[in-house]
Structure 1
Amino acid sequence: MASPSDHKYSSNADKNANQSNGHIQPNESRRYNPWGFENPWSHDLCNFHGRIPNFRNNPDCSTNLTQREEFQRARVIEIFPSLAQEHLRLFSLAEGTAVFDTIVNLTAAGNLHVDIVVVASVVVNPISGARLGKGKGYGDIKYAMMRQLGACDDGTLVVTTVHESQLLDDLPSSVMTEHDLPVNVVITPQRIIYTQKKISYPKFINWDRIDNDTMLNLPVLKEFKRLQQLQPEKLN
């Protein structure tokens, strides 16, 4: 995922001036800062800039998700690492749901189906499912790797848990590339939102986008590349 500071947007104030055929057009005069959403707590108490926001009533998101039929039917879920999702990880384990980690067990990923993937977000469009993370793209890469391994498909539910203030209904779909991961479901402490998700899922890793820092921070990529070379007919 590209750095959030690279993306442009239309603010609510500019929405009417930048609509064409019902679609919001990016406002070239302004840059969108995903950490600029309204902070419901004192700035003296917390600073979210450059991080995935974690909030006090985050556990309510876990409750909302685990009460859904999709979660209760799920046999395996994957929760991408984030402090904001840590309660959900513990809650899921307590409920007896298998929480898989592709990074820890890459080989096993090809022998199972992940029913739900939970990805962190800084901001998300609750209508289109477009989202921005911290800009590293690690979640997008992990998902693409899972797709190539056969661990998930279009039937896998992609979920994010956020605070209401992280919802941005004028976040344009143009911030997403074919390698960025949109979401089906947005869960806040107050409600559950099913997006229209008209954005395609990433289906493979684009190695041209993988730099040395990413390889160092995601050592599993080296192992995946080795497997890809050994099984080109399966993983390409």
Structure 2
Amino acid sequence: MWALLDAENIGRTGLVHGKIPNFHGADQAAQLLSQHPGWIAAQIVKANPDKAQAEVRRAAVEAGKLLYMAVPKIATEDPFYLIDPQKLSTAPEIASSGKLAAQHAPRTHPERMRPLDVIVCGSVAVNPNGVRIGKGAGYSDIEMALLAQAGLVTDATLVVTTVHSLQVTDEPIPESEHDVSVDLIVTPEEVIPCPPRRRPSGIHWESLTEDKVSAIPILQALREGGRRT
């Protein structure tokens, strides 16, 4: 998929290989999402920190929605930034920037978060069944598992990915029990609803390698807490 996307020059800032593509039309996709009834009704949004979803995050803050954004690579025990439009001391696009949020937004733990109305994730590819693939590191799935384990993801939570139309494929995408599927695919041109989806129940420890757990502080803490109980 990356080879195709680079051949078609969809990246706004150069080649996209190895990345969540920052695609031409990302702002139009964000605008189209902002017109969806589920987004309009949402008060609490969680989004990934990639550049492709920067306009989605900015739109959330400008619309007065409480925004949670994942700390890149889930690298702290409080792995989400809390961006509250009522408490901003800087412009929404700065506060919700993947690179600048650390300077302007406090970090928080799932136990202190509010239930989520909308979850936005980036993708490398997605099919009309809602099955997506990311960069391969599994961070989106781990984030979702953490949120589900904390009771923040319900059947009413809308899971969305914004992508370039070339990232939507009819090819089957392998999936496992812990993978997250989406309810809506939003491209610059259209909104594609997906069939009823699977929701994660929590963390599937058996699917995580020791290296992965060791690299993510909140997983270490949760596992140690489980061992003590």
Normalised by the shorter chain, which TM-score bucket?
0.7 to 0.9
Match of 1:117 in 2: 119
**Structure 2 unpaired stretches of 5+:** 71-78, 81-107
Task: Return the offset for 1:212.
Answer: 4.1
Structure 1 length as normaliser, TM-score? 0.73
Q: Distance in 2 between matches of 1:166 and 1:187?
A: 11
Q: Distance in 1 between matches of 2:145 and 2:151?
A: 10
Query: Does the 8 Å contact 1:178/1:201 carry over to 2?
Result: no
State, as a whole percentage, how many aligned pairs show the same letter: 30
Q: Distance in 1 between matches of 2:214 and 2:221?
A: 12
Q: How does 1:84-233 map to 2 (within 5 A)?
A: 84-101=52-69, 103-104=79-80, 105-106=108-109, 107-109=111-113, 112-126=114-128, 128-172=129-173, 175-197=174-196, 199-226=197-224, 228=226
Match of 2:31 in 1: 63
Q: Distance in 2 between matches of 1:89 and 1:76?
A: 12
Residues matched between the structures, number: 191
Q: How does 1:45-84 map to 2 (within 5 A)?
A: 46-84=14-52
Go from structure 1 to structure 2 and tell me whether the alpha carbon gap of 1:133 and 1:42 turns closer, same or farther (over 3 Å shift): closer
Task: Return the offset for 1:108.
Answer: 0.8
Structure 2 length as normaliser, TM-score? 0.75
Instruction: Provide the secondary structure at the position in 2 that maps to 1:48.
Output: coil
Task: Return the offset for 1:228.
Answer: 4.6
Instruction: Provide the secondary structure at the position in 2 that maps to 1:158.
Output: strand
Runs (4 or more) in structure 1 with deviation over 4 Å come to 226-230
Larger radius of gyration: 1
Go from structure 1 to structure 2 and tell me whether the alpha carbon gap of 1:220 and 1:62 turns closer, same or farther (over 3 Å shift): same
Task: Return the offset for 1:216.
Answer: 4.7
Match 2:2 to one of 30, 35, 50: 35
Q: Distance in 1 between matches of 2:226 and 2:152?
A: 15
Query: Does the 8 Å contact 1:37/1:166 carry over to 2?
Result: no
Query: Does the 8 Å contact 2:115/2:152 carry over to 1?
Result: yes
